Amino acid sequence: MGSVALMLPLTGIASKPRMAKLTDRDLVDRARNGDAGAFGQLVRRHQQRIHRLAVHMLRDRAEAEDVTQETFIRAYQALARFDGRSEPYTWFYRITVNLSLNAIRSRKSSRTTSEADDPRLEAVMSEKRPSAMADPPGDASRKQLYAALCAGIDKLSETLRTTLILVCIDGRSHEEAAQILGAPEGTIAWRVHEARRKLREHMQQAGFDPEGDAL
């Protein structure tokens, strides 16, 4: 055990707890100095949210995988350009948004996804509750709600949709979204407001009760 314990610090597994205490800036500094493991820690730390963002942006699981990987690769290559004025994750977000928008604009035609192959609805459709908490009518309503939300979000403009994803779905603050998108916070607030308004109108047109409170 002792030898194992002595050997652990020499391995990557043993170094994880120690590196987990490091901030993103520390990891970036280490990665700049050639510590690939530090950058790997950054990838593991942020790849889930980057992947979530890519899925909502691209509405395609495979493309989201590509963009996620590409984001970190391009970020690693451009570590020298990171000036440290912002948080590294906002930098990753910006790269992801740019790559996603570029992929969307590179599509030869606008892609229409059905509810079955929409990665955003994959978890909702496959959601299964324990039998004790079974609520078939509620589950159906929930699926219907998210399907309508997906349709409403897809009708939004590129700007409004991206801002809505960042703020309302991914939970970024207006300040963070402003840093990511390069727009003033007031503009972010207006975009969110507009996106919500249009989304509400869409939902009402889809038959959802404006005063209903059941999810």
Partner 1 sequence: MSEGKAPPRERDQQPMGRSSDGAGTQRQREREPMSSGGLDMRIDAALGEWPMPERSALDWDESADRVMSRIAAGDIGGSAAGGRHMGAHASRNVSDEDLFAAPLAMTSEEAQNSAAFGKTASSGGEGSRMAVTSERRERRSFQELAEMARSGSLTPPPASVAPKPAAPAPAPTTDIAAKGSGVLDLAAVAAADPAGAQRAQTTPLAASGLFEEPSAPSVQHAAAASVARASAAPAPSVPAPHVARAVPTVPPAEKKSGGGVIVLFGGLAVVAAAAAGLFFVVKPRMASDANKVALAPPPAVTQQAPAQTQAQPQAPAPKTDNAIDPTALPLANAPTATAPATAPFPVVSGALPFAAPKQAQPDPSAQALASAAPPATASAAPVASAPPAPTSSASLEEQMRQAAGPSTSGAPTPTPDNAPTQPQGAVPMKPSQGAVSGAISAVMPSARQCLGPDDPISQASIIFQSNGTVQSVSITGGAAGKPAEACIRQALMRAKVAPFAQATFTAYATIRPN
The count of chain residues that interact with partner 1, using the rule CB under 8 A, is 104
Look at residue 107 and give its three-state secondary structure: coil
Determine contact, residues 41/27, Cβ cutoff 8 Å. Answer: yes
For partner 1, which is the closer residue by CB, 1 or 13? 13
Name the nearest CA neighbour of 127 among 198, 17, 135, 38. Answer: 135
Site mask for partner 1 (CB under 8 A), range 33-52, x = bound: ---x--xx--xxxxxxx-xx
Name the nearest CA neighbour of 27 among 69, 88, 115. Answer: 88
What is the footprint of partner 1 within residues 156-175 (CB under 8 A)?
Answer: 158-159, 162-164, 167-175
Angle between helices 88-106 and 174-181 (to 10 degrees): 60
Residues across the chain: 215
| Nearest distance, CB of residue 178 and partner 1, angstroms | 5
The kind and range of the H/E element at 51 are helix 36-58
Site mask for partner 1 (CB under 8 A), range 73-112, x = bound: xx-xxx--x---xxx-xxx--xx-xxx-xxx--x------
| Nearest distance, CB of residue 57 and partner 1, angstroms | 10
What is the footprint of partner 1 within residues 3-22 (CB under 8 A)?
Answer: none
Does 122 bind partner 1 (CB under 8 A)? Our answer is: yes
Does 140 bind partner 1 (CB under 8 A)? Our answer is: no
Q: Considering only the stretches 2-10, 110-118, 131-139, 192-200, report the one whose residues sit in contact with partner 1 under the rule CB under 8 A.
A: 192-200
Look at residue 112 and give its three-state secondary structure: coil
Does 59 bind partner 1 (CB under 8 A)? Our answer is: no
With CB under 8 A as the contact rule, the residue among 16, 111, 155, 200 that binds partner 1 is: 200
Residue type, position 44, single letter: R
Tokens describing residue 86: 């912002």
Q: Report the first-to-last Cα separation within the chain, whole angstroms.
A: 53
For partner 1, which is the closer residue by CB, 6 or 127? 127
